[in-house]
Structure formats: C-alpha cells, structure tokens
Structure 1
Amino acid sequence: MNFLLPIAILYLGLFTQIKAYEDIPASILHPVFLEHGHVISKRQANQPIRITPFYDQDSMNFLTAEQKSYLQDIIMTNITQFFSELLSIKPLGRVVPIRSARACDGTPANVRFNDGTLALGCFGNCTSTTTTCGFSTIPEDHLSRCIECNPVTSSCNFAEGSVDGAGVSDSDYVLYVSAVNDLTKCPGILAFAGPCTLEYGLNRPVVGQVNFCPLAFTGQTDTDLLITLIKHEMIHALGFLSFLYAYYRNDDGTPRTPRVDDFDSVPTNSQGFPIPNENTVRSVNYTWETINGDVQKEVTLIVTPRVVQEARDHFGCQLLEGAELEGQGGSGSAGSHWDLRAFLNELMVSIVFSGNQPLSRITLALLEDSGWYKVNYELTGNFVGNNEGCNFVQKSCLGFYNLDTVKEENVFCFTENEQGCTVTRDNIGACWIIDQAESLDPVFQYFPQPNRGGQFFFVEYCPFHMNTYDCTNVSQAEFSPISNNGPNSRCFNHMGNLTVTIAGFDTSQPINAGCYEYSCNNTGVYVKVGDTSYHCSQRGEVLNVVQEIGAITYSVSLVCPACEAICWDRIELCSASGATTNATQTNAMTTPATQTNELTSGSTIAVTTPTDSGTVTKISFMLALLSALMAVLF
C-alpha cells in the first residue's frame, strides 16, 4: 500500500563519502530529520553538549581489558567532559531521539511529505544492507525505518516490516567509537574522526565516529598527546571541515549559504562538493615576495565575523580579511585546517605533535560562527605568532624576514646551520636549509637555487630552526657554562658569540643561543643567568650579561624576545606589562581570487617519539614535523 505521498523526491548525489583520511573508508553522510522537535526557541537557554559514546564491540574484542579501560575510562571520559565544558547548544524543543538513516544499496533520495516533513528515502533496498558510521556498525535500535521509493511513480513506501528504532535519547551527538586492529586501515596514525549524519533543521552534525588505531595502544603513545589528537579530530567531527562550511548558519538560524531548493540543498561544484558562500569562505591573492620578485599567491580564508575579529586581535593586524586555511597537502589536509606557516603550534593545524598544543580563540570563533554552538573562551590558550603583525600573516616568510629589524628574533631563518631558538623556544636549533630533488614552486623559491629551501612543504618550504638541544631536559649536559637546563628554562638568542676571558685573554666561542631560566609576570619577561635576573622590557633589547665562574669570566649579549614569543601560554601578562611586540600593519594588497572548493575531511598527523624506556620524549615543533612527514597521506 502506498501510504506516503511525497510532494517531491530529490536524488542525493551530493551526499558522498566523508573520510577522516583520504585513503580510509567511512560511511555516507546522511541528513536526518529529528521530527518536529528540532525547532528551537530563541528563548531557550543553552545547555552543555551531551556527547554519547557507543563502542563497536566487534573491534573492541581485539583490545585487552586494560586497553578497553584506558580507552573508555581515561581517553573518552576526558573527551566528553572537555567538550561538555567547551560547547553548549540550545536544547531540542522536546525529548527527541537521534536515529540514523539506513544505508541504501541504490541511490539515496530526499523525500518531503505533504506535512512538510523531510526524510531520507532509497531508490533501491535499505532493509538488507548494513549501516555503518566509520568502522562501526550502527545498531538496529539506532536506525530509522526504511523508506523505499519508486523513481518512475515518484511514490514511496515504508518497507514491509521496517520500524523506527528507539534511537538515542538525552543526547546531542552520538559518537560511535571503534578500534580497528588493522594497520593497513591506519597507516602511521593514532586515530581519526569525522561526522556521519547532519540533522535537517539546522544541519548540525549529530552523529559521528572516532577510530583508535593500533598505534594508540602500543604503550609508547603519550596519553596527553592522544587526548590532544582526539580533541583535534572531534573538532573536525563537530564542524571544522571544508565539507561542512556551506551548511553554517547565522546566529538567527538562517543559512549563511543560500539554499538552492525546497530540500535545503546547498550549491555544489562539478564534483558534487558543497560550495560555501563568500560570506563564509573567500579566496584572495597576497603579494608574495620570492627571490625572483613579487608574485601573487592565492590563499583561502574563513571570513565569518567572529573569526575575522579574533584573527585580527591575535596577529595584531586589523587589516586581516579572515583566517587562512591550509593550502598544502591533499584533500585530507587542505581546507580543513589552519595554515601551518601562520598558525604554527595551534591545535587545528594539520600536524599534532605534542600534548599541549593550544586551542585558540580563533578555532572557537569558527565553531561559534557555524551557528550550532556557544563556546567557552575561558578554555582557550595562546599560540605562537601573537601580535607579530600583518607582515607575518600576509607576507611570505622571506618578505617577513627581510622587513624584520631584529632578525635574531624572527620565526624564520635564512643562514644554513645558524644556531637559534625554535619557535616554541623549548629547544635550541640549527637553521635547516636543504636542496630538494626538484625545483620548488616559484611561489616558494626564497634562494637563488630554485630547489633550495626549508624541509617541509606544509610550511611552504620556509626554513626554521630545527631542534638540536632540549632546554627542558635536565639529564643533558649544559649547552654552555652559563646555561641552565630545567622545566622552567627556555631558549634565548645571543647577539654574536660567547666571550670567554681567562687571565686577561679573550677567546670567542660560536655559541649563538643558550638555555636560561625565565619567568613571566605583569612587569614583563625575566631571564636568570647564574644568580642574576635580568628584565626584558621590549623585543630586540640587548642585555649585556657578565658571569664569573671561578677565575673565568663569561660575557654574552642576550637578545630579548617579545613577551608574546616566550610567554605565549600566559599572554595576559604581556598586555599587563606593556612589553609586547610592536606589530606593524602594512597593507598586503589582497585581491579577490577565483574560488575553488574541494571535499576535505580532517587529515591530521600525530607524532610520537618512543624512548628506550617506552615513554614519550618531549617533541619540539620542527623535529616533530620531520617525523610527521613519514605519515602524511595524500
């Protein structure tokens, strides 16, 4: 009996596979209708998001009891608690269970019934197929009933014997958790996550998946690193994904990207990937300095209101039009992360390399600008690049370096093997410049030799100081007689060499950086050499340090960093002290560029470094990049 009379049916060619990594299969992204209760009143108060994990027993059976407890009681408990404190949403108008649409062995179809209700139908069979989300099989009890449609008659029926499952009540996000014991499905990675289902009303992701790979349980993975990685992946699953930008909403619930039909469909490109409106994502051209002169470099920006303001405030550049997205790598990296060259150690860059990468206000602004969440900015941290100015964020690394009057303190370096501090300043490093096998893209040519540059394409071949010595490691020999290793020590650059005076005779040692104890307070940065503390009042200030150890006198000129560069995890002290970077605001001459859109889905690299004892060593930023490239998927 044909008891469903749809007004219309729409083929869902645009609902294609969502993959957390390009080569890893996942499930179909289906919209689901949460019945009439999805209508949200503006008067309703926000409530903490409720993420409900369900564990895929088939894959969990490969874990030991200890591993299961570690995953469920430590990792996932931490994650659900963290996001309940981080995000809140307006509750559904009444208790509405979340059900996933059944998989279809033919072509999915959007169905609108006479009462206006939307549902997902199937031109084919949806009763005998297994419905999955990532590597997890969705239980029958979590599925809606099967609607089978006839493309000739445009009529639909509930499949015989098919009924709605109970669904998942008292939840805002159903998360299916798996632990696939197959390294071929997890090549060189610890975990990945992504959304599987959007709800029709506001298009918010309501069902997703996270998979833990075998490497997560080797005993060599630091717990803080794994938790940081899952936070990163969950932010993708909740909305920071190029495929989802077209579904973002204004604060009043209206779509940021105008819909193209009565089925709430978004515009797509020729490959079927959603195209967000230019009020959300925009491409512009930056004037980019290379060794051969200026060229135009196209960059893609998130230009939603909160993101724009937070990016301007962080970088100290009120001319910024938006926050730059990653442009390098395959579809698993480009477009779904912040640009690594500009965002460096922020949580949502394409490489997770340590357990303390800060979640920034810019990332939370993006989640809030999605229209789906209210966010808790108190849980954010600062990252490298604060108050560096327009030249840092809108120019090439060569252009930024050439304009810097205190090159010892520049994030980048252009003298091979030069000693200096790494960007997070926990290590002394050497400037790593190499000859690549082939000529670099002209946009990334900074040296007379076209194949010469930094090591890594993710940072656009910009040269950095690669770590050679860990200032925080007390078990290492001191870097110099006046250096001091320890958990409260950081790298400070020297202006020139270290001078050693013995019996009136001077010798010069090529030591251009050192490890010194530091502190941050509301008067600025203090560096301690021996028993003497020195105050840094501004970036580039030179402190003439003299230390006598027995009959030997050591003299060195320490270069003061910007407060934000070394106290980036306590940035509020920098504004209180006034000892901040003098950020310049030069117009980078941005011009509109042709917009391109590509399906991306949060490909991220997590890096661990096992030691003989089975623990994880601290990983400095640039060393982590080197190891990480072994695991890049594109």
Structure 2
Amino acid sequence: IRFKVFSEDMNNASRYCTAAGESRPNMEGGTRVCRRKDVLTAEKKSMILNQVLPRAIKLHMDRLHIQPFTGPVVLPNFSAGTLCGEFEIPSSHHTTGVSGADMVLYVAAAPTRYYTHAWAVACFALPDGRPVAGVINFGPHAVTDSEFSVRIAAHGIAHALGFEYFYFFLRNMTQTIPEVRGKKNVVVVSSPKTLEKTRAHFNCTSAPGMELEDEGQGTTASSHWKRRNAKDELMAGGAGAGYYTALTLAVFEDMGFYRAQWDMAEQMPWGSNSGCELLTEKCLTNGVTQYPEMFCHAASKVLLCTSDRFAVGDCDIVSHLKPLPVHFQYFADPRRGGFLDDKMDYCPLIGESQATGCIDGRADIMPGSRIGPSSRCLKGVGLRDSIGLTGDVCAEVSCDNDTVSVRYLGDETWHACPEGSTITPTGPVFVSGKIVCPRRIEVCLCPLETQCWR
C-alpha cells in the first residue's frame, strides 16, 4: 500500500503553536489557547515527519496489500465544519489530483486536549467504498521519539484506512448480540476472518465475533475494540502497547480492499488463550479474578507494571458514590470498582499514575526506574533501594534476534535477560532483590524486530 503525506498545516505558523498564550485552530472547528508544551518546535516537527509517521506508515505497509490505484486521487472540496475541511489541502489536489498513491494523508500538529495524543479520520473513498484520503492531527505535547508514539500514529492511520464503524456497517460486517455479561446487547464484528481470528486469540470456539467498544461517545466508541477484552491491541480505545494483531488484520481483509500479511501479525498477551469466560463472565467475582495478569482487586503499597509495560502504576480502584449496575458489581461492596474513565466496564486494572510512564515519567516518583524512549516496565521481586521496597521498575530494553537485554538504573551495562530467568542488580541504586526477565512478546512488539523496531 502506497502512502503520500502532505503537511501544509505544519509549514504555516498560523496553524500551530509557536508560543504559549497564542490562540490556534484545534482542527475540530474551534480554537485552543496554546500551552508551552503545545508548541511545535523544530525538533517536534522533525520527530513527527521523519521518525514517528514513517515508522507508523511502515507498520501498515508491511502488513496490508492492496490493488494499486492507477489514476490520480482527485479530492472534492470538503465543506466547512467537517474535520477534513479544517485541513489545508493544496489546490492542485482538487484538479489534477495526487498520483502514485493508494492513501493520501494530510498531517497537522494543532494543539489537542491533554488526554488526546492524536486523532485521525477517513475523508474520501472511491466509488467502491475504499478510503483513499485521510487526515491526522498530532498533539505536540504528547509526541515522543518512541514506539509508544509510533503506535498511536499507526492507530490513527488505521482509522483513515477505514477502521471505522461507518465502514463496518456499510460492508455488513457487524452483528448485534443480546444478553452479554448482563448487558442488553453488544455489537461485534462477525465477518469470516475476524470471527476466525477472534476465536483463535481467546481460544473460544463459541465467540460470536470481536466485540466493539460501547463506552465513550457514539461511533467514536464503536470504531474501536472493546477495551476490556483487547486493552493492548492497536485498535482498542485509549493509548497503550498497540499490538498489531491478527484481529485488526482480519478486519482489513474482511473489508474486501486489503489482503493481510498474516506472518506479520503480532501476539498480544492480553486475553490470549483466556477461554470464553473472559468474554461471557464477570472479570472478578467477589473480588477474585481468574486473570490476575489483567485485573487487580486492591491498591498496592508499591508500584506495579501496567499490562502494556509502558508504565508503572497502581490498581485503579475506588469506592463510587452510588452502587454500580448489578452486572458491573465485582465485589461484596456494590460501590467498589474500577474507574469509569478506564473504559473497562468498571473492571479494575493496573493504571498509569500521574507522570509514571517509563518513556517520559518523573524519576522522583518512580524509585528504581530508568526512564527513556526504549524503557519498559519489569517485575521486581523484593527489589529494594536505600529507602525501601521499590516494587516493579522501568529499565531500558533492547531486542535483538532472539535475545532481550536490559539496562537498569545505576548500571551502564546491558545484561542478557532470557525469559524465565532473573537478574540480581548491582551498583549504587539497589541493595537487594531481583528483576524478573519478561516474556519476549511483552517487551518486543514485532515478530521480526528489524521490521519495526528502532
């Protein structure tokens, strides 16, 4: 699949933040007052156009094949008030068009809400329904030169390629299933390949399809996988590991426009081989879960790894003001449950605390952690620094061929860390304890490292 990228909005200083206090278009029909972190510096601009976007595009190019579009892509004039109409499109694209592309992408870096890393939509489709143009806006405050940002960009591009409820509905790919986990109904993608890959991932031969999100707003919600079931998948709602699994590849193939490169599918630990109960039953019953790697039941005294290993955090659990709906009650206390904002049907999970990301967190609140673009969270057993127990910690991770190596805080040496073994850290930081070597698929996203890792 051939991409062509245009970034007119990143070359016009009235379309992005150059200083705090300015007012700039937000590309959603309104304006935002710029904060210092919203400023598109030369470094951030280069990061988006030369690092993050090319790597995100490559994730799709390596996995999706398409019948090349022979003619130029000639775009209509998008009406004011639409998202696509907010972006600056060269006038020639409306007349002579863009040649040699299967997807034309228009990129901006306007300020976004603090919790929005980036967003994207499809803008224009061929008569057969295949999307050929889209827009993506990066919030400069959230962009880092990291795999985390690459996956967020790849998620957005997938929406532009047609991963949207509108297309699922048009192509008759969905079904409404009644009485699921006490809900009146849920919507699933039940087209053939998606059905097959859903059943394989969860090891559940009776799954009716892959469930779509029902929390959040409107079709934005239903254009993502149900986060409770697929939290770390590329097309789950919310930022995370972004594993490009067979589930998302299957949707693209079922659309009829793309052919998937199946050997490039990534393996997501979340929900893998869980059995049907994960999809049909409560995540916890009386405070006990069958899936301790996924869900938690109480706050911890130390920091713990999030499932995507991009952060340390604690169990997102709270006592709500009112009893939760019966089908979301997982504890003896009917008010106890996870956070609404986690979009997990109130299932509690280890969530990133404020500024505890392995890539860009605050060292002063992350004892024992080494922070940087290639850092991931590793489990600690009895790890102590001079002050006390540290819990789990972030360390730099390097993935080569078959080996995983780690570099922890206080030691500049890379240590081989084969799955199933432990490392006993030495140096000035740790006084006792061990670091548990991770499963390779939990820290090295790609099946073939050279395909998508730095």
TM-score (structure 2 length as normaliser): 0.69
String of CA shifts for 1:597-629, please: whole Å, max 9, x gaps: xxxxxxxxxxxxxxxxxxxxxxxxxxxxxxxxx
Residue number in structure 1 paired with 2:177:
284
**Paired residues of 1:413 and 1:463 also in contact (CA < 8 A):** yes
- Aligned ranges for residues 222-237 of structure 1 at < 5 Å? 222-224=144-146, 225-237=148-160
Q: In structure 2, do the counterparts of structure 1 residues 286 and 177 end up closer, same or farther at CA, with 3 Å as the change threshold?
A: same
The answer on 1:388 being equivalent to 2:274 is yes
Q: Does the aligned pair in 2 maintain the 1:417–1:433 contact within 8 Å?
A: no
Cα separation, partners in 2 of 1:206 and 1:400, compared to 1, 3 Å: farther
Letter in 2 for 1:222: T
Contact 1:433 1:452 in 2 (8 A): yes
Alignment-derived partner of residue 357 in structure 1:
242
Tell me the residue number matched to 1:84: 61
Question: How far did residue 90 of structure 1 move?
Answer: 1.0
CA apart distance, 1:571: 8.6
Distance 2:242 2:269 in 1: 10
Q: What is residue 49 of structure 2 aligned with on the other side?
A: 72
- Report if aligned partners of 1:86, 1:375 keep a CA contact under 8 Å in 2: yes
Contact 1:493 1:512 in 2 (8 A): no
SS at match of 2:120: strand
Cα distance in 2 between the residues matched to 1:98 and 1:379: 29
Find 2:132's aligned residue among 206, 209, 212.
Answer: 206
Question: Cα offset for 1:360?
Answer: 1.3
1:367 aligns with 2:252: yes
Deviations 1:426-452 (A, max 9, x none): 766543421223432332122344332
Residue pair 2:298, 2:315 contacting (<8 A) in 1 also: yes
The structure showing larger relative contact order (alpha-carbon pairs under 8 Å, at least 6 residues apart) is: 1
Cα distance between partner residues in 2 of 1:297 and 1:318? 22
**Structure 2 counterpart of 1:342, one-letter code:** N
Query: 1:133: how far off?
Result: 2.6
C-alpha spacing 1:399/1:138, structure 2 compared with 1 (3 Å): same
Report the equivalent of 1:491: 379
Q: Distance in 2 between matches of 1:371 and 1:315?
A: 24
Which residue in the other structure is 1:464 paired with?
349
Deviation at 1:316, TM superposition (A): 1.9
The 1:210/1:562 distance shift into structure 2, 3 A limit, reads closer
Is it true that 1:397 corresponds to 2:283 in the alignment? yes
Shift in alpha-carbon separation, 1:69–1:296, aligned structure 2, 3 A? closer
CA contact (8 A) 2:317 2:338 kept: yes
Residues 50/296 of structure 1: CA separation in 2 closer, same or farther (3 Å cut): closer
Determine if the alignment matches structure 1 residue 166 to structure 2 residue 96.
Answer: yes
Provide the rounded CA distance (Å) in 2 between the counterparts of 1:223 and 1:526: 30
CA distance in 2, matches of 1:568, 1:241: 28
- The alignment partner of 1:310 has SS state of helix
Which aligned pairs between 1:548-559 and structure 2 lie closer than 5 A?
A: none
Identity %: 25
| Cα distance between partner residues in 2 of 1:303 and 1:208 | 26
Tell me the residue number matched to 2:221.
334
- Give the Cα–Cα distance (whole angstroms) in 2 for the partners of residues 209 and 69 of structure 1: 18
Q: Find out whether 1:446 has 2:334 as its counterpart.
A: no
Q: Structure 2 CA distance, aligned partners of 1:69 and 1:515?
A: 31
- The answer as to whether partners of 2:62 and 2:261 remain within 8 angstroms in 1 is yes
Is residue 57–residue 157 contact of structure 2 (8 Å, CA) maintained in 1? no
2:84 alignment partner in structure 1: 133
Distance in 1, Cα, partners of 2:433 & 2:201: 36
RMSD: 4.5
Match of 1:43 in 2: none
The residue number in structure 2 matching 1:176 is: 106
Is 2:187–2:211's contact at 8 Å kept on the other side of the alignment?
A: yes
- CA-CA distance at 1:238 after TM superposition: 0.5
How far apart in 2 are the matches of 1:357 and 1:87? Answer: 17
Q: Distance in 1 between matches of 2:7 and 2:53?
A: 11
Equivalent pair of 1:391/1:400 in contact (CA under 8 Å): no
| Structure 2 unmatched ranges of 5 or more | 19-40, 404-417, 449-454
For the residue of structure 1 that corresponds to 2:253, the secondary structure is helix
Q: Residue 382 of structure 1 contacts residue 568 of structure 1 at CA under 8 Å; is this kept in 2?
A: no
List per-residue Cα deviations over 1:302-340 (Å, max 9, x = no partner).
111111121222222222121111110112531111111
CA distance in 2, matches of 1:177, 1:485: 33
Look up the match of 2:13: 61
Query: What is the CA-CA distance between 1:230 and the residue it aligns to?
Result: 1.6
Taking the aligned partners of 2:82 and 2:281, their CA distance within structure 1 comes to: 48
Map 1:484-633; keep pairs closer than 5 Å.
490-491=378-379, 525-528=419-422, 530=424, 569=445
Unaligned runs of 5+ in 1: 1-48, 105-128, 144-164, 249-276, 289-294, 499-509, 532-548, 573-634
Change (3 A) 1:198 1:449: same
8 Å contact kept, 1:493–1:513: yes
Which residue, 290, 297, 301 being the options, matches 1:414? 297
Alignment equivalent of 1:100, drawn from 54, 58, 75: 75
Aligned residues: 388
Q: Which residue identity does 1:528 align to in structure 2?
A: T
In structure 2, how many angstroms separate the alpha carbons of the residues matched to 1:58 and 1:403? Answer: 48
User: Residues of 2 paired with 1:562 and 1:76: CA distance?
Assistant: 28
Asked whether the 8 Å contact 1:316–1:387 carries over to 2, the reply is yes
Report Cα offsets for 1:348-392 as digits up to 9, x if no partner.
111114xx5321121111111111112233443222321222222
Match of 1:306 in 2: 193
User: Rg larger in 1 or in 2?
Assistant: 1
Asked whether the equivalents of residues 421 and 493 of structure 1 are also in contact (C-alpha less than 8 Å), the reply is no
1:561 Cα deviation after fit: 11
Question: Per the alignment, do residues 477 and 376 of structure 1 end up closer, same or farther by CA in structure 2, a change over 3 Å counting?
Answer: same
- Structure 2 counterpart SS, 1:195: strand
Return the offset for 1:465: 3.2
The CA deviation at 1:232 is 0.7
What is aligned with 1:154?
Answer: none
Q: Name the CA shift for 1:139/1:443 in 2 (closer, same or farther; >3 Å).
A: same
